[in-house]
Amino acid sequence: MEIKVSQDVKESEVLVINKFENQMTSQELANKYVVEKDGFEGKFGETYLIHTLGQSSADKILVIGFGKKEEFNADKMREAVAKAVKKLHQIKAQKAIFNFDVNCDYGKSAAIGALIADYAFDKYKSEKAHHLDEITFTNFSQEEINEGIIFGEAMKFTRDLANTPAQFATPAKLAEIAKSIEGIETKVFEKPEIEQMGMGAFLAVAQGSVNSPKFIHMKYSGKNPKKKIALIGKGICFDSGGLDIKPASSMLTMKDDMSGSACVLGVMQALAKLQPECEVHGIIAACENMPSGSSYKPGDILTAKNGKTIEVDNTDAEGRLTLADALCYACELGVDEVIDIATLTGACVVALGSIATGIMGNDEEMIARLIRTAENSGETYWQLPMFKEYFNSLKSDVADMKNTGSRFGGASTAGVFLQEFVKDVKWTHIDIAGTAFLEKPQKEFIAGATGTGVRTLLNYVK
């Protein structure tokens, strides 16, 4: 779908206009039919389609309810445009002009909404989904629209990758994609180099799979960098649970266990286009968690890059092991802040469902800034505690800590585990286990990968 900006309302297949509650629309024809005759109120998200039968420059006019004018905001703009695009799919339209009468410049939200709603994962289907060829917005600035397009395309990139089955989205594939991003410097460490770096926790998770691990380090260097940030994405290309194998129903969607790394890849390719004044490192410890004769075993004692030892009490708590070594690596880069994003715990899904992303860390100000950024980006983050007592269940008789501990408070327990590998840096952990992948449609999203984290991290870095 192409998104354009044009000041004049040209002839078009469909003209999309808005109606606030208790107000007339910008179109006489719509006022005559929709408002006066049918009493369409314009409640938020309602749609009304008029066939103009030659009485207008458009074949059809689609009216979108914008709700109460004083309650309208950027989130509503995104959702309303998404609603309109879904309606346009329904009527199999190819081209539409959006002529909204709103004062604020909501161009970025509008473009993001359009791209979220036009998304389908139909690469492997014979019958493709309906897509719009072109939409034109009449009263938004080109800059806002351009930024929205970069954000929307980054989300699509991330969603495509997270939706891709594990048979294709392998550690090697992630490495290949990272290397192919223009404007980003990428180094991929192979197994012997990972061994040399002493990443015993990451390697243990990887050792059960025939697909070898890849440690990926991307770097975006903006002009006059004001800040240096490292973004770490959990990159478990498939999580079977390992020898502590998952039941079938829990394993079903575990191709999505690299959603954190897909997010980081999406963010890195967008940064190369946005060119903000900062330095951003994208880090992914990519591997598969598989059961086999060479798998790591419950009871094994692993040594992470920082020398700390870990007794494995469950091979299904693998994400934190790979992140442990990635965190050690990131802390040696001399960055100001480290953020990790991971489909880390089922406990976070139990606590927050698919409605909110869990967030915790060692710096309250940084956490607050990320929560605010999420709110302004159309995402919802909710802070979970990191009381030191959560470490109690991780105490081990034979090593510095266990990897799993208690099921209760599992998201926080994972958080305090990760903290053991963070040194002298502001750090925030983002648990997207519940929000990265939807079992059924939710708001403007279809079922499947959502690209969660992309908008928030892009806005945060900027």
Per CB under 6 A, residues contacting ligand BES are: 239, 257, 314, 316-319, 343-347, 349, 404, 410, 433
Catalytic hit among 227, 246, 273, 369: 246
Partner interacting with residue 346 (select from Zn ion, ligand BES, Mn ion, none; CB below 5-8 Å by kind)? ligand BES
**From ligand BES, Mn ion, Zn ion, none, interface partner of 314 (C-beta below 5 to 8 A by class):** ligand BES
Task: Name the segment binding Zn ion (CB under 5 A); options: 58-66, 89-97, 195-203, 230-238.
Answer: 230-238
The nearer residue to ligand BES, 149 or 394, going by C-beta atoms, is 394
Minimum CB–partner distance for residue 159 and ligand BES (Å): 16
**Tokens standing for residue 296:** 């790591």
Shortest Å distance, C-beta 440 to Mn ion? 23
Q: Which residue is nearest to Mn ion (CB)?
A: 316
Q: Which of 257, 288, 340, 420 binds Zn ion (CB under 5 A)?
A: 257
Calculate the CA 90 to chain-centre distance. 26
- How far apart CA 54 and CA 365 sit, in angstroms, is 58
Report, in Å, the least distance between residue 76 CB and Mn ion: 37
- Burial group, residue 137, by CB count within 10 angstroms (0-12, 13-18, 19+): buried
User: Is 60 in the active site?
Assistant: no
Cβ neighbours of residue 279 under 8 Å, at least 6 residues apart? 219, 220, 221, 222, 225, 227, 228, 229, 335
Count interface residues toward Zn ion (CB under 5 A): 4
* Alpha-carbon span 106 to 1, nearest angstrom: 19
Is residue 402 annotated as part of the catalytic site, yes or no? Answer: no
Nearest to 458 by CA among 228, 180, 112, 151: 151
How many C-beta atoms surround the C-beta of residue 51 within 10 A? 11
Residue 295 beta carbon to Mn ion: minimum distance, rounded to whole angstroms: 13
Structural contact between residues 312 and 296, judged by C-beta atoms closer than 8 angstroms? yes
Region near Mn ion per CB under 5 A, out of 155-163, 267-275, 276-284, 311-319: 311-319
Distances (CA, A) of 101 to 3, 139, 415: 18, 8, 46
Nearer to ligand BES, 160 or 239 (CB): 239
List the x/- string, 300-319, binding to Zn ion by CB under 5 A. Answer: -------------------x
Work out whether 379 is an interface residue with Mn ion (CB under 5 A). no
User: Which residues in the 316-355 window bind Zn ion by CB under 5 A?
Assistant: 319
The one catalytic residue among 19, 320, 402, 455? 320
If binding is defined by CB under 5 A, does position 239 make contact with Mn ion? Answer: yes
Minimum CB distance to ligand BES, residue 344 (Å): 6
Beta partners for 401? Answer: 310
Per-residue burial over 321-337, b = 16 or more CB atoms within 10 Å of its CB, e = otherwise: bbbbbbbbbbbebebeb
Instruction: Give me the least distance between CB of 319 and Zn ion, in Å please.
Output: 4
Supply 303's token pair. 């040594």
Strands 47-51, 58-67: parallel, antiparallel or unpaired by DSSP?
antiparallel
Q: CB of 314: closest distance to Mn ion in angstroms?
A: 8
Q: Which of 316, 340, 379, 444 binds Mn ion (CB under 5 A)?
A: 316
Residue 328 contact partner, candidates Zn ion, ligand BES, Mn ion, none, CB within 5 to 8 A by sort of partner: none
Helices within 239-363 (DSSP H only): 248-251, 259-274, 319-331, 346-352
239 is a site residue for Zn ion (CB under 5 A): yes
Q: Which residues, at least 6 apart from 188, have a Cβ–Cβ distance to it below 8 Å? A: 175, 178, 179, 214, 215, 216, 217
- Which residues between 317 and 356 bind Mn ion (CB under 5 A)? 318
**Rounded Cα–Cα distance for residues 67 and 223 (Å):** 43
| Beta carbon nearer to Mn ion, 218 or 323 | 323
> Whole-angstrom Cα distance, residue 323 to residue 362?
16
Given the rule CB under 5 A, which residues bind Zn ion? 236, 239, 257, 319
Given the rule CB under 5 A, which residues bind Mn ion? 239, 316, 318
What amino acid positions are annotated as catalytic residues?
246, 320
